[in-house]
Amino acid sequence: MKNFFKKINRLSGPLTLIIISIILGGFYYAVQVNKQNSIKEQQWVELQAEKNKEDLEYVAQRKLDCLAIYEVENEKWNNVKSWNYNPIEYQGSFLRDYCEIIYTDNDTDKDFIKTF
């Protein structure tokens, strides 16, 4: 029986080191996975912010284009009433957009729209 306890005593040191190494390795792995996920999330946030900025710049430019069309049409015709820019968005992406110039029919006094 003493022999058995001596063997267990001799093995307990290395076994303890192995268990501690496994625990520390698991902890290190968990920290690295968390860090990697955090980096990926930050990159995704930065990409979304850049996309939103580009979308806003696109809409602003298209509104200016629509206003320019309105001004040209207003100089050509005396029945131009107003303008409107409509971007159609679906799940964060622009499907299409169009500029509406609203005219008034001089004969019927009703509005009609021409899109660009």
pLDDT digits (tens, 9 = 90+) for 52-89: 899 889 999 999 999 999 999 999 999 999 999 998 87
What does the alpha-carbon distance between residue 40 and residue 5 come to, in Å, rounded to a whole number? 51
Q: For the chain, give every domain's residue range.
A: 2-115
Tell me how crowded residue 28 is: count the other CB atoms within 10 A of its CB: 10
Answering whether pTM is above 0.75, one says: no
Convert the pLDDT of each residue in 20-35 to its tens digit.
Answer: 999 999 999 999 999 9
Phi and psi at 12, nearest 5°, equal -65, -35
What is the C-alpha R_g of the chain?
Answer: 35
Res. 104 pLDDT band, cuts 50 70 90? very high
Provide the residue type at 40 as one letter: K
Residue 8 is predicted with a pLDDT of 66
